[in-house]
Structures are given as C-alpha cells and as structure tokens.
A and B are shown apart, each in its own frame.
Chain A
Amino acid sequence: MAEKFRPIYLLLKNKYYFDEMYGWLVQKVLFGIASIFQWFDDEVVDDGMVDGTGWLNRKMGGLLSLTQTGYVQNYALVIFGAVAVIFLIVSF
C-alpha cells in the first residue's frame, strides 16, 4: 500500500505537513518580520529619533557656545553692530 500510493502515504504520514508549516510561519516569517521591526526600533526610533534629538541639542549648544568667546571686545562689537542695525532700520 505504502509503495503504491507513495505521495498520499507521505502526506498522511507527515500529518499534512502542518507542523512544518507552523514551524516555518513562526521561525521564518514571524521572526523575519520581527528582525525588521527590531532594526527599525534600534536604528530609526532609538538611535535616530530619540538619540538624534539629544545629538541635535548638543550640536546646537556647541554652535551657540562659539559666540561665547569670553572677550569683552567681541561682545562690545556685537552690541555696536546690533545698535547700528537697529539705527538703520529705524531711520529708513
């Protein structure tokens, strides 16, 4: 019998391959999707959005700190320039 109906025999013997299908669905498909989500969570959400916000703040602070030279002459120059600009705007 087994020889005569070999394909049907194998199908029944392996229980319609249901266990294999479940295994494939969870291990390959689901964990494959999970890998993509995991990458997205690590790289895009965490490193990108969250740590990126922190990075942006540090960079902006770094850029702004360039204006703090500690030289009174520099500050006086900026004040003088600003007064000149205001004067020009007001007079024209």
Chain B
Amino acid sequence: MFPIQVLATILLPFAAAFEFFHNPVDGPNALPILTCFILIPNLAAFLIMATPANWTKWISLFAASLELGLAFRVFTLYQISAGGFQLVEQVPWLNNLGIQYLLGVDGMSTLMVVLVACVYFAGSLISWNVTMRTKEYFVLFSLLVGGVAGAYTSLDLFFFFLFYEFAVLPMYLLVGIWGSGRKEYAAMKLTLMLLAGSAFMLVGFLAMYFSSSVHTFDIRILGNLSQTNFTPEFQNFWFPLLFLGFGVIAAVFPFHTWSPDGYGSAPTAASMLHAGVLKSLGGYSIIRVALPALPQGARHWLPILVFLTIVNILYAAIVALKQKDFKYVIAYSSVSHCGAILFGICTLQVAGLNGAVIQTLSHGIVAAMTFALVGLVYGKAHTRELAKLGGLGAAMPVLGGLFVAAAMANVGLPGLSGFVGEFLIFLGSYRSGFHGGFNIFQVLFPTAILAIVLTAIYYLRLVQIVFYGPVKDPHIKEEAKDGSFIEILPIAFLLVVSLAVGLYPKPFVDLSNATIAPLIDQIGGFK
C-alpha cells in the first residue's frame, strides 16, 4: 500500500503540472509558469507551517513532484530554434531605480530549472526519515529551493541577488540545527564565506549599474554594454572581483574550505541541494553575468584564471585522496568537479563552455546522488570514518551497486552524464586559442586531464574500502540493512537522469548551445 501512495503522490501532481501548462504560455490567458516555479516551494513552506506534522512529508513530496512536472514542461516549451530568452515575465517594481521583477529562461537556465526540480524531488524523498523537528526542517528546505529556483530564473540582478541570499540563510539553520559533528562551526563558516563572496558580487553589480548609461539591473541589457559603456580598464578591474565573488559560491581555491566542512556537517538533503544546485550557481553566474558584460576583462585575466582553476581541480582531487571521512572525500570531489566547470568557462571556446554547462547539470545530479548515498550509509552504519567502514556490499547490495554507478558517473565513464561534460571541457581546452604568444591551454591541458585519473583513484579507493573487503566492525554488519523503497527511489531517479544525459546528450547540448553559441559570437571567443 505504502509504495502505491507514494507513487500516486508523485505521478498525479507531475502529470497535472505537465497537462495544466500545456497551452503555449505566450497567449493572453497563459499562466506565468516561471512565477509558479518559484512560488510552489515557497507556498509549500507556508502550507507545511499551517498543517499537522504528519502531513509535512506528503506536502513536500507533492510540491516537489509538481515542481518536477513544471520543470519538464519548461524543458519542452523552450524552442531551441528561436533561441534567446523565452517565457519572459516582466513587472515593473522600482521603475525609477531600474529594478524590475523580470523572469525568463534561455537554453542554459532551462537545464538549471530541470536540475533544481530533480534535486528538490530527490531531496524530499531522502528526507522522508527525518524525525527531529520535521516541520521546521521541511519549511527551511522548501525555502532553500524557492531561493535557488528564483536565482536561476531571474534576469534582474537585484532579484538574482535577493533570491541567492534567500537560499543561503536557510542553509545556515539546516546545517546548524540538523547537522552532525562540528555543526555550529561549519554552519558559521559556510554562511560567512558565502556572504563574503556575495559582498564582492554586490559591489560588482553596483559598479555595472552605475557605469551603465541606462542605470538598469536587467542582465539582458547589461550584457550588451561591453562595447559601449564598459571601458577596457573598467572591465579589467571588475572582472576578477566578480569572478572571485561567484568563485566563492563555486568553492574556488583558496576559498573552498567552507565546502568540505559545510557538507561534512550538513544533513543529507541540505548537502544534496547545496552541492547540486546552489554551488552550481557560481559557474552559471559567470556565464550569465560576468562573461557577456565584461569579456575584455575575461580575456585579460585568462592565464591567471586558467592556472587557478587547474590548481583547483588537481588540488582538491589530491586532498580527497587522504581524507579519513567518507563525506569529506565526496565534498572534495565536488570542489574538484566545480573547478572543472570553471576551467571549461575559462576556455572561452564553444565546446568548452558547453561542456561547463553540461558538467554543471551533471555535477548537480551526480553530487546529489553521492551525497544521498553517503547519508544513507551513515544512517545505517552510524559512522562515516573510513577506518571503521568495510565490507558493506554484502549487507547492502543495492546501495553498494548504486554507489558504484555514482562513482563511475563522477569518474566520467561513457554512458553516464559526467563523461559528456568532461569530454566537452577537455575538447574545448584543446581547441582554445592562443594567448599572449603561446597557447596556455595546450601546455596545461594534460595536467587537467590528470584529474580524471585522480578521480578514479579516490573513488575506487572509496568503493573498495566501504563496500568491498573484510568487515571491520561486526556491529555495523549486524545492524546495516539495504535501502528501502523510499530510500532507493530518489537515487534510482537521479541515476536515470544521469544515464539520459550520458546516453543521449543531444537535447541537453542543443539547449546549452542555444545560449553558448551566441555568447561566443558576442564576446569574440574561440570557435
């Protein structure tokens, strides 16, 4: 009976959302689909507050399924041939200051909308067994999703910033209250570092606002001002600051230490959402805001940024080798993969940037999957210390198998999503052009490739230590059980998405290219 109820709660709203928004939304009576996308998690939060505690999980699952249906609707509604921003919703808000409520998606943000919904859905199911202060937990979790949903669909920098801050604050409470280990320290560190990064962001936004002749926060207009309003000196000065501000979100070296501590302490669904969705906002924002508005700055700082991102990839991968905590390995792996995204952006080349977008999607799905699995193993074995874990594959064969699949997706096995993103990034870096007389990419390209080998070493080491080999602690073996239906469902779902991107990447790459190809033309990147 139980699985049937769950499946009904998933499928009915999914189908309803898909059916309800069937009409072309450009018509006069059309529903504002993106506003609904932002409203659903926020309304769910208020509904959870107002209803009895035993409704909580069902409301959250219902809202997440509705969100998923809506996201797939956006995915099918976006017309690649037309390109540009679609499903635009525009309401003047503070007109004399140039601030408006402006939503819209292009190919890249359509992929991010799908990513947000997938991780929200999986996170809702993974949190099914949260028993401590369930209502508050789900309220904050839903608000976090509402924040990132807004950040990925906003085309106005003011609202973009507002939604981003909305997302960071629930994270602080989620880590601080429902976390494990040094949770207060981790929550404080994560929030302070992310807020410090957003201070750079805000200053950069204001600089662009005041330097533009039209005084607007509209991303579409700011992106076209690079030739007319923003002088090369202006761009050279502000691009690195914006890159740093967005880079802190993406855990760029040396501002990455919030990430392992934060994820190490965060409850499972919070680390899934943060690693999968909020962290991806860093790379996304560089492509969305910094590159179109300040392309000269990007070219000027390219050698240093390329070096920094390669250090990021390799450094995090090497540090991951020596971690003693299961979740810290995954956290450093996430830092390394986000470095690959930034490296792809720095190629300023069509394939490289497309790779960065696909890798953002892939990292979101795969990181959510691995964090979910670590959370489940921790819940059953009551320890994350690698020295105590061992031989769990016999006790939990399904979870073990899923972890191997997740590890392979991280490593970049063909057929899974990680391969598509990484392949395109490395292809792009090889094809990328000269800078200052020599081709920095063809020198550094082999070192970046090395990261794949390192990733394989630390993931295979994890699989070997945790799931294979002898059982080190007999208590763990006695208590550990395989995942239940409700635990396996979200991970299997994410695996299916990863397989879909890996086996047939064309619709995803086409969507990404609808954003990237015009951007490369506009900023004069490499083809």
Chain A residues close to B by CB (< 8 Å) = 26, 30-31, 33-35, 37-38, 41, 45-46, 49-50, 54
Chain B residues close to A by CB (< 8 Å) = 189, 192-193, 254, 257, 261, 315, 318-319, 321-323, 457
Majority secondary structure, A binding face = helix
Query: What's the minimum C-beta distance from B460 to chain A, rounded to whole angstroms?
Result: 11
Question: For residue B321, which residues in chain A have a CB less than 8 angstroms away from its CB?
Answer: 30-31, 34
Bound CA–CA A33/B319 (angstroms): 9
Question: For residue A38, which residues in chain B have a CB less than 8 angstroms away from its CB?
Answer: 319, 322-323
- Chain B residue nearest to A33 in the complex (CB): B318
Q: A31-B322, A34-B321, A35-B322 are in contact. Are A41 and B457 (CB under 8 A)?
A: no
Inter-chain pairs besides A31-B322, A37-B315, A38-B319, 15 sampled, C-beta below 8 Å: A26-B457, A30-B318, A30-B321, A30-B457, A31-B321, A34-B318, A34-B319, A35-B322, A37-B319, A37-B322, A45-B254, A46-B257, A49-B254, A50-B193, A54-B192
Query: What's the minimum C-beta distance from B370 to chain A, rounded to whole angstroms?
Result: 20
The 8 Å CB contact of A41, one of B189, B192, B319, is: B319
Question: For residue B315, which residues in chain A have a CB less than 8 angstroms away from its CB?
Answer: 37, 41
The 8 Å CB contact of B257, one of A26, A33, A50, is: A50
Question: For residue A33, which residues in chain B have a CB less than 8 angstroms away from its CB?
Answer: 318
- Chain B residue nearest to A39 in the complex (CB): B322
- Chain B residue nearest to A46 in the complex (CB): B257
Bound CA–CA A50/B321 (angstroms): 22
Bound CA–CA A37/B253 (angstroms): 13
Among B189, B192, B193, B318, max chain A CB count under 10 A is at B318
- Chain B residue nearest to A47 in the complex (CB): B257
Bound CA–CA A16/B218 (angstroms): 65
Bound CA–CA A54/B261 (angstroms): 16
Counting from the closest, the 7 A-B pairs by CB-CB distance are: A38-B322, A34-B321, A34-B322, A46-B257, A37-B318, A41-B319, A34-B318
Question: For residue B257, which residues in chain A have a CB less than 8 angstroms away from its CB?
Answer: 41, 45-46, 50
- Chain A residue nearest to B196 in the complex (CB): A53
Bound CA–CA A54/B189 (angstroms): 9
Among A35, A41, A49, max chain B CB count under 10 A is at A41
Bound CA–CA A34/B193 (angstroms): 25
Query: What's the minimum C-beta distance from A84 to chain B, rounded to whole angstroms?
Result: 38
Query: What's the minimum C-beta distance from B211 to chain A, rounded to whole angstroms?
Result: 30
A-B residue pairs in contact (CB < 8 Å), sample of 16: A30-B318, A30-B457, A31-B321, A31-B322, A34-B322, A35-B322, A37-B318, A37-B319, A41-B257, A41-B315, A41-B319, A45-B254, A45-B257, A46-B257, A46-B261, A49-B254
Question: For residue B457, which residues in chain A have a CB less than 8 angstroms away from its CB?
Answer: 26, 30
Bound CA–CA A37/B454 (angstroms): 14
Among A35, A37, A54, max chain B CB count under 10 A is at A37
Bound CA–CA A41/B319 (angstroms): 8
Query: What's the minimum C-beta distance from A19 to chain B, rounded to whole angstroms?
Result: 16
Bound CA–CA A35/B322 (angstroms): 6
- Chain A residue nearest to B255 in the complex (CB): A50
Query: What's the minimum C-beta distance from B325 to chain A, rounded to whole angstroms?
Result: 12
Bound CA–CA A35/B318 (angstroms): 9
Bound CA–CA A67/B261 (angstroms): 36
- Chain A residue nearest to B189 in the complex (CB): A50
Query: What's the minimum C-beta distance from B455 to chain A, rounded to whole angstroms?
Result: 13
Bound CA–CA A52/B321 (angstroms): 26
Query: What's the minimum C-beta distance from A21 to chain B, rounded to whole angstroms?
Result: 15
- Chain B residue nearest to A35 in the complex (CB): B322
Among A38, A49, A54, max chain B CB count under 10 A is at A38
Question: For residue B193, which residues in chain A have a CB less than 8 angstroms away from its CB?
Answer: 50
Among A33, A35, A45, max chain B CB count under 10 A is at A45
Bound CA–CA A11/B134 (angstroms): 64
Question: For residue A41, which residues in chain B have a CB less than 8 angstroms away from its CB?
Answer: 257, 315, 319
Query: What's the minimum C-beta distance from A45 to chain B, rounded to whole angstroms?
Result: 5
Query: What's the minimum C-beta distance from B369 to chain A, rounded to whole angstroms?
Result: 25
